A and B are shown apart, each in its own frame.
Chain A
Amino acid sequence: MTHVFLDEYSDLESPIHQLDPRAKLVGCIALIVICVTTPSNLYAAFAAYLGLEIILVLLSRLPWKHVLKRMLIVLPFILVVAVFLPFFNKGGGSYNLGPVTVSAHGLLVLWNVAAKSTVSVLAVILLSSTTPFPELLKGMEKLKVPHLLTTIMSFMYRYIFVLMDEMQRMRRARDSRGWSGKWLWQAKVIGHMIAALFLRSYERGERVYAAMLARGYDGGARTIYLYDFGVMELGFTALVILFPLAARLIVGG
């Protein structure tokens, strides 16, 4: 079975792909922090953030189709806020949209969520689509993220599809024996499957640990890191932090 990897397109070649993952990680976090702390009425600042991201997408030669498809993930959040829109009526003038009335304040809340989630998600898409996940983890380790955490994430990346395949096989075995899923008493079966999956993962964990020990693992964190934080990285980090910061201060000033 084939699955779409988290870091699809991260093996392209572009100036952005080549950067030290640390630069991209720091830049991404900085951009998100600057964005979410920007007051929602500084419209031009958000335009600047988005503009910067669009330039980065162009530089990284990512296919727009891929980027836009990944962007769809923000829609549910915006929709949830939109559904509750009529209930925000703290004044600031109101508009009649057919049967419902929305307040200017409510619209601002919606804009706030939409703009910030769009900019933030795009930043994460840029990071994950230009950096292979293993490299990102090594970058995190270099940035002193605890080894335990990066190890867990690395196992997740390695085994999530193995587990999904295992689940898929169990589901087929279940359905082959006439499981319809229509009746409440059949719900128990799902519980059993989850338990089986847990046990299998637990046993796999033991075997993987034995395989690690067999190759001299002693709990130490040693990795090979092939990147250097050079001029390009410095420039990139400065751009991604200073440009949005400046935009925000000028617009807000």
Chain B
Amino acid sequence: MRKEKERIIGFCCNECAYAAADLAGQSGMKYPINTRIIRTPCSGSTDPLWVLEGLVQGAKGVFVSGCLPDQCHYGDGNVHAEESVNFLKKLLKAIGINPKYITSYFNSAGMPEAFSNSTTDFVKDVLSLPKLPDIKDKVKSEDKRERFLEILLAYATVLGTLEEVNEKPIPREGFGMITVDEDKCVSCGSCALLCETDAITVKETKKHRKMFYAHHLCTGCEACVRACPTEAIIVKKEIHLKPFLAKENIQFAGNQFVACSKCGVIYATVDILEEIKDEFELIDSKIVSLCHVCRREQVGEDYVNLSKYLISANLATEEEVK
């Protein structure tokens, strides 16, 4: 008979879960020997990456445990912990992995029986599940977001579920999906300038500017929303697994460049001019077709001509014009 050899990793908050686990020991209770507990300050601190990492490194299952609802010692960290685990469960399910490999449960420091019962039940459930494929070698990145993606991608690839991943968006802080109103977007590129993670980028040829968006890099920070002059962008804090895993970098807008009618330098897109045309026409429709350098020259020239005219027509003195 071979003895039990699977590991189950548990992230237990220092305030309640870890204390309950201690108390279970002090009260002579039992829970399965597979359990390996890692102490966290608050269950809310449990990074989803840590949970995934547990599975990747070969733990059969991972649980997150914290204080009772409404009794978190840090406000609502336990709520965040539960959200994190539910988020991961949805992700696992979307890539075809039984979400039962991970769980969360909550009890107070004075509830060792509840802790050991929940742990025992979870371990029993997990041990009956098939072993997850070993993807350790496929995960290499040290970057948090990249590693997170690599793990999910590796599982989906090995399990052959990449093609049919569920596309339903999953809400989560730290992820973002933009929607761009193509009628409003003028391809000015301001969003790309302010995007910190290069989720939005531009590609330019001599005649075109193309706008690209990579969902897997987006953090939902809304810098693009603040940058956009035409309020064309909306951001939702959610992850769309398919484009996320595919690292899709898709074009969401693009426009022809316009060359300066005087010097020939490219200075705007057609849509930008369309957008600002009305304002400029109030001043002088002619300058719309000029780049910003030529526009200044033209305005200066116009002013000098106007001054000369005013003086010559005796409408103003030289002093007044100056």
Our verdict on whether A and B bind, yes or no, reads no
